[in-house]
Amino acid sequence: MPVLPTVGALVGVARGTFTVGAWPRVAVVPFGGSVAINCSLSACPGGNVTLGLDTPLAVTSGAGGARWQSFRLLNVSRWNPGPATCYGRCGDTQGNASAGILVYRLPERVVLEPVAPVAVGESRNLTCRVVEVAPVGNLTVTLRRGSETLRTESFGGGEGSASVAVSHLLTAGPGDHGQDVTCHAELSLRPHGPLFARAAVPVKLSVFALPEPPQLQAPTLLEVGAAANASCRITGAFPAGDVRFAITLAGQNLNVTVAATGDVLTAVTTLSPASPGRQELVCTAAVATAARTARRQLHVYRFPVPVLELSPAAVPEGTEVTVTCRAGVAEPPAVRLQLRDADGGVLAEGPQSPLELRLVARREDDGQRFGCRASLAIGDDVVTKERDARDCPGNRTWLRGTREALSCRATGNPQPTVVCGRNGVTVGTGEAQLVTRSRAGTYLCNATNALGTRSRLVTVRVECEWCHRLPPRPPRWHRGSGGSWGVAPMGTPLP
């Protein structure tokens, strides 16, 4: 607090006691403003009195009376103008009284500096600046976090206005997240004037933790058009609700679903690549200004199921039959084929497509089955697919008068739905029905899931039991179920 002049009265005696007074004892005025000082005197016998104000400041007279006069100090633009002195004369006796002048300036601004997000355990300076205030010796600045006072600081006196800064080094903990930091500046002019208070706009603390890199789980091999789940998990991230996940495959953003269990966050996405090749799966977990990334290389391949064919479809005994195992277009193209018998024995093998096996049909070969296996080498891994048509054989022979079901089963992921029909009319599958000649013919079976539709033609022949008791004719070969082939007896035409 600046030292203010004391107020005194010089008392003289002229035909009694004569006094001069000044009010207020300390005039409080904003820098550049105006303030009134009242001068008064006691009774003067004889009435020969004068009353005035002595000050280096610009002054003008205001209202007055027989024993008092108001003076206004104008445009007070000096920080230490000295006291203003009221003087009076009664005859030959003179008296005076001084009033102090306290010039102040309210802060232009009270500003809290922004606080960048801070990791748990790290430190940040909280700084409050009070711009152009006077007198600085009357200023008190208080920093708080929530309701807790972190620092209170006062300042030494000095002439004129000045800017000050108050700082506190805060080491962040999880409990500091979301807390408001506030700064209050008080300029106290008591007991001569009021208490002025100013506050900065609060700053909210952002505290975070991202201690561990994410763990990315995904298959290393994935087929074009297939779907597989991938997950990205992170432990100990804080605050959990602010953590952001981004998962990309070959630079394309994927949709993610995030779930929390305790302090573990898991983001799940579905991988369904549309093109083959080596592709990078990237998961990034971010909170505030921190981010951590995990990467995984995926081998995306195209590998259709191989095709198994018998040619010709029907042959007499002793005729040559060609069994063909054919691979579709695969990426990468490193496909190896195997022709196998019903017991899994390898009949032919090689990298070329098609792979052919020529056999001379014998009667004991009737009903023999073949398999076609394709193997695709991808890095250090091998993917294998087989053509096994027993779940949906392409040719069937039913005995008239029995009960048979048209069944056709397909596998896939997602599990496909199979619908069979003939001439555009859907036919029930799986339930045995009476076999009549009307059930003979060619059926179209479609297996459909979210990835598309595949079709297969199924031919049904209907025979009668008494036909087999007729004298046999020379046999001819026919193609059997799912790549099998055998001998079918020829008899009287079906009724």
**Which pLDDT tens digit goes with each residue over 10-39?**
333 333 588 999 999 999 999 999 999 999
Which two tokens mark 385?
């697919």
* Token pair for 16: 């009694």
pLDDT recorded at residue 153: 96
Residue 319 has pLDDT above 50, yes or no: yes
Task: Indicate the pLDDT class of residue 316, thresholds 50, 70 and 90.
Answer: confident
* Whole-number pLDDT of residue 60: 96
Phi/psi for 240 (5° steps) reads -60, -35
pLDDT band (50, 70, 90) for residue 362: confident
- What's the CA gap between 114 and 151, in Å, rounded? 18
The region of weakest confidence among 103-107, 132-136, 175-179, 354-358 is 354-358
- Looking at the chain, the whole-number percentage of residues with pLDDT higher than 90 is 53
pLDDT at position 491 over 60: no
Three-state DSSP at 31 gives coil
Number of other CB atoms surrounding residue 7 within 10 Å: 18
Neighbours of 318 (CB within 10 A): 10
Cα 203 to chain center, whole Å?
24
CA distance 436 to 403: 9
254: nearest Cα among 223, 232, 287: 232
State the average pLDDT for the chain: 85
Residue 262: CA count within 13 A, CB half-sphere = 5
| pLDDT above 90 for 217 | yes
Are the C-beta atoms of residues 397 and 491 closer than 8 Å to each other?
no
Distance CA 335, CA 374 (A): 6
Whole-number Å distance between alpha carbons of 441 and 418: 19
pLDDT at 133: 95
Q: What's residue 313's pLDDT?
A: 57
- Per-residue pLDDT of 254-304, as tens digits, reads 999 999 999 999 999 999 998 999 999 999 999 999 999 999 999 999 988
Residue predicted with more confidence, 326 or 40:
40
Owner of token pair 């991202």? 210
Q: What is the pLDDT of residues 196-207, one digit of tens each?
A: 999 999 999 999
Rounded to an integer, what distance in angstroms lies between the CA atom of residue 139 and that of residue 150? Answer: 17
pLDDT at 81: 92
Q: Averaged over 464-474, what is the pLDDT?
A: 52
Q: What is the pLDDT of residue 466?
A: 55
Spatial CA neighbour of 228 closest among 301, 333, 305: 301
Which residue is it, tokens 């004991």?
A: 364
d(CA 23, CA 86): 9
Cis ω before 312 (30° cut-off from 0): yes
Over residues 229-242, the pLDDT tens digits come to: 999 999 999 999 99
Q: How far apart are CA 55 and CA 41, in angstroms?
A: 18
Residue among 321, 319, 294, 302 nearest 310 (CA): 321
Q: Determine the Cα–Cα distance for residues 217 and 230; give it in Å rounded to an integer.
A: 6
Give the integer Cα–Cα distance in Å for 300 and 275: 7
423 with 410: CB under 8 angstroms? no
List of residues 6+ apart from 100 with CB closer than 8 A:
4, 5, 7, 25, 26, 27, 83, 192
In degrees to the nearest 10, what's the CA dihedral of 220, 221, 226, 231? -10
Sequence-separated (6 or more) residues with CB below 8 Å from residue 481: 369, 389, 390, 393, 394, 395, 396
Strand partners, 182: 144
pTM above 0.75, yes or no: no
Q: What pLDDT digit, counting tens, does each position of 448-462 carry? A: 887 678 888 888 888
